[in-house]
Structure 1
């Protein structure tokens, strides 16, 4: 009987933990943080919250002032990916944070997806993810601490590879052609006005011609 009582107590305690939720607010932005992992590193949790409030207001200001004010973040013990964002909600894998407790800027990438808020069929997926990783590179709080960086160019790369490979290309474009090209493309995607003609409009060259030039001289420093 004693063992049953102890087990029941542990179950109640576990259920109570699963229902824990904290709300943080700063300068009009609200973060509702739900943690389903009792073993989540306290410094990681604190760092995620701090990173959110440092990065999200800047992204709203620089990319989409109409972005929502309240964001929900869930640390999920059942999700087997890394993280994803949808409709103002961010889910982050507890397993990922256990392996990479310093990867605070995973939230930077994901909040950018909320800022993007692209409608269906707004443009290529590789550009969506490339912009989000470009933002992580430019606005990230501690990419170095997470062991995250833009990769060196390789001949087998393509702008369609997405994520960091596309992000590096976008950064090169901001240095070589137009410092605001990412903001412009982001707005086009959100307004469903994206087309490949925009690359010519913003740089005077086609997308493929830009990639060919980048391939010949991919230095970004």
Structure 2
């Protein structure tokens, strides 16, 4: 699901159904001030839609969106000692297994997927987040958390009003994607607004361990998950 760089295959993990979240709940939208926000260079995004000229406008909009959101994502993660990218290339492909995936300095997009889902610009934010993550290969980089952070950026920052997954006792925090993202949103709201940044920085420096959750919240990871499930199923 993820290589030693930052490859993601979207939607290959079964996810629970999504349902609208109650209006007004604090977890529906998170917009905390970025105390350490800094200005970073915006990479030049080039988009190659040669194989699908009809998607040129879609690609142009996606590129502009990525240029706007790259500095935002950069400041939402633990990038203090990292170096921003200077360029990102987006390439459309007629055949690939995932809607989109990121690797190295580029993002590859499925032409059939975009034609069938023309409003899915959020996947570009998810994939661009992987480029900002850029974790070095390490067994201290759990894939469930990598994908959870990318979906947290997408669904709680870029698309904060989107429907939320329905969490049940059958789910686990290692389910990745929206499930893990929802869990991170809960912990970020209740315990530590800088949690995602800390987790990201730890993985960037090969220093991640599950104990980081306890350091930030005072509770062990399994206990936090049980609390979250109880909150969701009350």
Please report the TM-score for the alignment, with normalisation by the length of structure 1: 0.79
Cα displacement (A) at 1:40: 3.4
Cα displacement (A) at 1:43: 4.1
* Structure 2 residue aligned with 1:103: 120
Over 3 Å counting, the alpha-carbon distance change for 1:143 and 1:43 in structure 2 is: farther
* Structure 1 residue aligned with 2:24: none
Tell me, yes or no, if structure 1 residue 124 matches structure 2 residue 142.
yes
- Structure scoring higher RCO (CA < 8 A, sep ≥ 6) equals 2
Contact 2:47 2:60 (C-alpha < 8 Å) held by counterparts: no
Match for residue 197 of structure 1 among 208, 211, 216: 211
Over 3 Å counting, the alpha-carbon distance change for 1:167 and 1:40 in structure 2 is: farther
Match for residue 97 of structure 2 among 80, 83, 87: 80
* Structure 2 residue aligned with 1:171: 185
Calculate the aligned-residue CA RMSD, in Å.
2.0
Regions of 4+ moved over 6 Å: none
Structure of higher CA gyration radius = 1
Cα displacement (A) at 1:67: 2.6
Please report the TM-score for the alignment, with normalisation by the length of structure 2: 0.75
Task: Give the stretch that moved more between structures: 207-216 or 43-52.
Answer: 43-52
2-structure distance, mates of 1:192, 1:185: 10
Cα displacement (A) at 1:143: 7.2
Q: Which runs of 5+ in 2 are unaligned?
A: 1-40
* Structure 2 residue aligned with 1:20: none
1-structure distance, mates of 2:90, 2:163: 24
Identify, as 1 or 2, the structure richer in helix. Answer: 1
Over 3 Å counting, the alpha-carbon distance change for 1:39 and 1:155 in structure 2 is: farther
* Structure 1 residue aligned with 2:172: 158
1-structure distance, mates of 2:166, 2:111: 30
- 1:4-55 Cα distance to aligned partner (Å, 9 max, x none): xxxxxxxxxxxxxxxxxxxxxxx64211211133353344223212221221
* Structure 2 residue aligned with 1:58: 72
